[in-house]
Copies of this chain bind each other. A is one copy, B any other.
Amino acid sequence: MFRIGELARRTETSTDLLRVWERRYGLLQPGRTQGGFRLYDDSDVERVRRMQAGLARGLAAAEAAAAALEHDGAGPVELLPALLSFDAERAETILDELLQRLSVESVLHDAVAPTLRELGDGWAKGDVSVAQEHFAANLLRGRLLGLARRWDEGLGPRALLACPPRELHDLPLVIFGLALRRRGWRVLFLGADTPFEVVEETVRAERPDVVVLASARARPSLADPALARIAESTRLVLAGRWPDAEVEAERLEGDPVELAASLEAPERASA
């Protein structure tokens, strides 16, 4: 347990703001010392983070607080165990319920993406078997692609999404695509293990406004000349883990949903 100054430091906010979020939106309900000082724990850090994530996605403070509160508890806490125990029905039910209660964006940001991260960490540590990872990935992929139908329709700017050669983990890319779609983009999805030449051809044929290549675990080579040619003609974004090398491209790392929000900013600046 720690006091408000420590919470402010850990979440990079001010004590004033934390108190006012408590007063106005009931975001936090800290315990008190004998003398009346507020006492917080780790779950409060999480809640503040969710609030901040909501603000970053463009919600008003009141809405962000409501979303952060509503989301309390559920989410990844329930979803991961269901997936690890191969309980498809329970996992589907949890997803159903989350999708009903929360927006697609919050489900992706607060439940699916964190679950995926924990899955990856568990796999790296050896706690999660290949079978478990495959089961989880396939169930989630099925569900997410169900949300992704017709995502090349409409008017917005167009993004071409692909994973580089040898990268088989396309789920973060799917999440990224869904988040973009929510924000009005059209999405051309090439998916896992896509040769750079294929990307290049598609760029020539379809003329997307931006090309996003996402690499989660593989460390693809940047030496391919096709990559350089893509970068010359189009805005190129490399998301995830890539080697350092001289390619004319933006680099992004972190949560796919937040990346999707940030991809928008340069568009606005130019408009």
The CA of A52 and the CA of B185, in the complex, are separated in Å by 13
- Assess the A146–B2 pair: CB atoms within 8 A: no
Contact A155 B52 (CB under 8 A): yes
Assess whether B58 is in contact with A184, with CB atoms less than 8 Å apart: no
Question: Which residues on A are within 8 Å of B, measured CB to CB?
Answer: 1-3, 6, 9-12, 33, 37, 39, 41-42, 45, 49-50, 52-53, 56, 58-60, 62-63, 66, 92-93, 96-97, 99-100, 103-105, 143, 145-147, 149-150, 153-156, 182-184, 264, 268, 271
Contact A182:B6 (CB < 8 A) given known A56-B155, A92-B146, A147-B100: no
6 A–B pairs (Cβ distance < 8 Å), ordered by A = A3-B63, A9-B264, A12-B184, A45-B184, A49-B154, A97-B147
Partner of A60, one of B2, B63, B92, B183: B2
| Nearest 3 pairs of A and B residues by beta carbon | A96-B146, A6-B58, A93-B146
- Residues B39 and A146 in contact, CB atoms below 8 Å apart: no
A99, closest chain B residue (CB):
B99
A52 to B156 CA separation, bound complex (whole angstroms): 9
B58 and A9: CB pair below 8 A?
A: yes
Most buried by B among A3, A10, A268: A10
